[in-house]
Structure 1
Amino acid sequence: MLLDVRNLTITGDSDHGPIDVIDRVSFSVAEGEVHSLVGESGSGKSLIASAIMGFLDPRWTVRADRLWFDGKDLLSMPAAERRRIIGVDIAMIFQDPRSYLDPNDTVEAQLGEAILDSDLSSKHWWSRRKERRNKVIKLLHRVGIKEHQAVMESFPFELSEGAAQKIMIASAIAHRPRLLIADEPTTAMEPSTRQQIYRLLGRFHASHKMSILLMSQDMGTIMPESERLTLLYSGQIMESGPAQALLKEPFHPYTEALTSTSLYQQSRCEPKTHLPTLTGASPPMQHLPIGCRLGPRCPNARRKCVTTPQTRKLRSHFYACHYPLNSAAKVQGND
């Protein structure tokens, strides 16, 4: 297993004391696998990504039974070793690339910094500079940017959203990472641009067997190559399992709500037709419900839901619900 996360808990301070914003989250990403982590805005996806990368500031407390990358404990290892792993084996692309690209440097300068010195074969500084520039051009071509000269001389604020995200992807794959964390990489993009980005990620996954942890708000925007899905709500895992099986027969009401909404949006419907939705909104960090955090919005909620449901396994499905949808899961839950 390349990335193994077990009972990850992230605690933040509030006026009412410490709050477990991320509550015992567990998932894994195998070598060469695409794993999609899906949840509404505010569910904690970016916090989990930042915890893996080591980006969280001291006001957050990170605990886990296991937070391993390639068998190495990311939480207990020295900071220098973790930076080396993050700099070489793990890369991340963000929701808003312009916020993470340096506005004072050209694209050529920033992509040049992403290329490791160990990847250069030239011995002299003048030839190394030319070699680095040629590698930048190749990177731009790989992410689908043909007019490389104009883009290389541009600053991030001069680029379109799609072009800026492609630059972020080029920077991430420059050192051929084993794991790419994509935190909602197509947010607010047009459908055509979104498809370009996902085709690009799919091509790198196929050609380099690169593992991808994709984070998304919508079932309709996950990559077709996704082999496993994990549903996250307000910092708790609702359901996890093989993508096709989970989409075909969800066990959790939250999974069914997201799936039906996505499928309904993709189908043709009459004007003024009511779209299927999950009533209510995600709770703020300061007012998280006790027990199952979906309880106040769940159509199947009952008195028992004020206690946190145990995570159960049925075949290759993991789910945390007192009243699952599948008949076999209902029988198992009543055992």
Structure 2
Amino acid sequence: MAQPLLEVRDLQTHFELEDGVVKAVDGVSLTVPRGRTLAVVGESGCGKSVTARSILRLVERPARIVGGQILLYGDEPSDDPLDLLAAKDKRLREVRWSDIAMVFQEPMASLSLVHTIGNQIVEAIRLHDEIGKVAARERAIEMLGRVGIPDPKRRIDSYPFELSGGMRQRAMIAMALSCRPRLLIADEPTTALDVTTQAQILDLLQDLQQELGMAIMLITHDLGVAAQVADEVAVMYLGEVVEHGPATSVLSAPKHPYSQALVRSVPRLGQRGQARLAAVRGTVPPPYERPSGCRFHPRCDAFMAGKCDLTVPTRVRADDTDVACLLYGEENR
């Protein structure tokens, strides 16, 4: 198997609150292949965004990363990987933008409202590349044009509030890619956008991926988006990855009962009037009342009393996917 670009091992990020500890990310392990797209999917509150922010150590109090490894591999197989959780702040700042960049869910919350988008992109470029203001501005104009913003020489002096939602998202992507990172983490990049703009943003990411050869880690709750762009899919539930494998396998023949329920809940063309849309049974439990054993067992149609409620499943190989379920693997039976 080819060496991945990024490997997350047993990542644990907890929120230490007055009422107790919320284990938002509790043992996440996944890999991002070089030059390909990994989609991380799951219901709201399953820990997708916290996982993404933890990779760049962008979580703030009361959140705290309490364990695990995040290994960033070099271009050469012989290079020792960099553990981002153990890296010093100076080294981590070098990794951000130049090796790993992130597009956040809401551009208006990430862009400064009192600075032009050009000033913000130029600042990001000059923090990581030793070039002058004129050269940085020219690169910023180039990137704005490459992400499909019309008349970039004029738009570079626009403020975020002067742009539409789709244009702001494109500006964020331009900023993220201005230093040509090896990995782009996109956290719900199409949320609150209309269907046409959503399709344009996804096509843009795929085009830039092929052009720059970068990997993409896409955080989404939309299985349709994952099916459109992902090479691999990781399904998260209550802070852990329950299934991880090729997108074609996970989305067309899922193994974990939670993955199966998610896939069944997606509306399909041609089914109008034929059947009711299947919803995932039950609700996500409160953060302080996590079930024992398999965390999904109170909502699972394949629940086995005396097993699923007592035994924590480990991830095992089932065909070409990794799945954490007692239905698979002799050691889990």
TM-score by length of 2: 0.89
The runs of at least 4 aligned residues of structure 1 exceeding 4 Å deviation read: 117-121, 331-335
Residue type at the aligned position of 2:89: A
The structure-2 alpha-carbon separation of the partners of 1:302 and 1:110, relative to structure 1 and needing over 3 Å to count, comes to same
Identity %: 35
Matches within 5 A, 1:290-329: 290-303=292-305, 304-307=307-310, 308-323=312-327, 329=328
Asked if 1:147 is matched to 2:151, the reply is yes
Give 1:315 deviation, angstroms.
3.6
What SS does the aligned partner of 1:192 have? helix
- The answer for the alignment partner of 2:90 in structure 1 is 80
Segment of structure 1 superposing worse, 271-280 or 295-304:
271-280
Cα distance change, pair 142–53 in 1 and its aligned pair in 2 (3 A): same
In structure 1, runs of 5+ residues without a counterpart are: 122-127, 324-328
SS at match of 1:266: coil
When residues 107 and 16 of structure 1 are mapped into structure 2, their CA distance, relative to the original with a 3 A threshold, is: closer
The 8 Å contact of residues 67 and 75 in structure 1, kept in 2 or not, is answered as: yes
For 2:332 and 2:8, the matched residues in 1 are separated by 29
> More helix per residue: 1 or 2?
1
Specify whether residues 149 and 199 from structure 1 end up closer, same or farther in structure 2 by C-alpha distance, changes over 3 A only.
Answer: same
**1:201 equivalent in alignment to 2:205:** yes
> 1:198–1:223: 8 Å Cα contact kept in structure 2?
no
Q: How far apart, CA to CA, are the structure 1 residues paired with 2:224 and 2:330?
A: 30
Contact preservation (8 Å) 1:5, 1:26? yes
Q: Is the alpha carbon distance of 1:271 and 1:150 closer, same or farther for their aligned partners in structure 2, counting shifts above 3 Å? A: farther
TM-score by length of 1: 0.89
Q: Structure 1 99/272 Cα, relative in aligned 2: closer, same or farther at 3 Å? A: farther
Matched, 1:248 2:258: no
Q: Distance in 2 between matches of 1:41 and 1:219?
A: 13
Matched residue of 2:209: which SS?
helix
Q: Structure 1 residue 40 and structure 2 residue 40: aligned?
A: no
* The 10-residue stretch of structure 1 (44-53 or 219-228) with the greater mean CA deviation from structure 2: 219-228
Is the CA contact (8 Å cut-off) linking 1:116 and 1:175 kept in structure 2?
A: no
Cα distance in 2 for partners of 1:119, 1:16 equals 45
Q: Look up the match of 2:222.
A: 218
CA apart distance, 1:19: 3.6
Shift of 1:285: 1.8
Q: Is the 8 A contact 1:40 1:218 kept in 2?
A: no
What residue number does 1:55 align with?
Answer: 58
Which of 172, 175, 189 is the matching residue for 2:176? 172
Q: CA deviation at 1:284?
A: 3.1
Q: What one-letter code is carried by the residue in structure 1 that aligns with 2:190?
A: T
- Verify the 8 A CA contact 1:8 1:64 in the aligned structure 2: yes
Q: Is the 8 A contact 2:70 2:85 kept in 1?
A: yes
Deviation, 1:117, is 6.5
How far 1:149 moved relative to its partner?
4.1
Q: Is the 8 A contact 1:108 1:133 kept in 2?
A: yes
Deviation at 1:287, TM superposition (A): 2.5
Q: Say whether residues 1:2 and 2:12 are aligned partners.
A: no
User: Measured at CA, do residues 135 and 299 of structure 1 come closer, stay the same or move farther in structure 2, by a change above 3 Å?
Assistant: same
